[in-house]
Amino acid sequence: MDNPLGTSPDEVQFRFRDDEVVDHGTVTVDACCDQTNATAVRIEPGDDARELLSFLDRLALVEVNFPSFADGRGYSAARILREAGYTGELRAVGDIGVDQLSHLRRCGFDAFAPDHRLDEEDAARAFATWDNVYQKTVDGRPTIQELRHE
**Site for another protein, rule CB under 8 A:** 45, 48, 68-73, 75-77, 79, 83, 97, 99-100, 102-107, 119, 122, 125, 129-137, 143-149
From residue 90, alpha-carbon distances to 35, 68, 75, 104 in Å are 20, 18, 11, 10
Minimum CB distance to another protein, residue 93 (Å):
16
Minimum CB distance to another protein, residue 22 (Å):
24
Residue 6 vs 114, nearer CB to another protein: 114
One-letter amino acid for residue 148 of the chain: R
Residue 37 vs 68, nearer CB to another protein: 68
Looking at the chain, the number of H-run helices and the number of E-run strands are: 5, 6
Minimum CB distance to another protein, residue 45 (Å):
7
Residue 36 vs 68, nearer CB to another protein: 68
Minimum CB distance to another protein, residue 30 (Å):
18
Instruction: Report the alpha-carbon distance of residue 24 to residue 146 in Å, rounded.
Output: 41
* Residue 114 neighbours by CB under 8 Å, 6+ apart: 13, 93, 94, 95, 96, 97
Residue 28 vs 102, nearer CB to another protein: 102
DSSP per-residue codes, 37-67 = T--EEEE-TTS-GGGGGGGGGG-SEEEEEES
Residue 1 vs 144, nearer CB to another protein: 144
Minimum CB distance to another protein, residue 40 (Å):
22
The answer to whether 91 and 81 have CB atoms below 8 angstroms apart is: no
What is the maximum alpha-carbon separation in the chain? Answer: 53
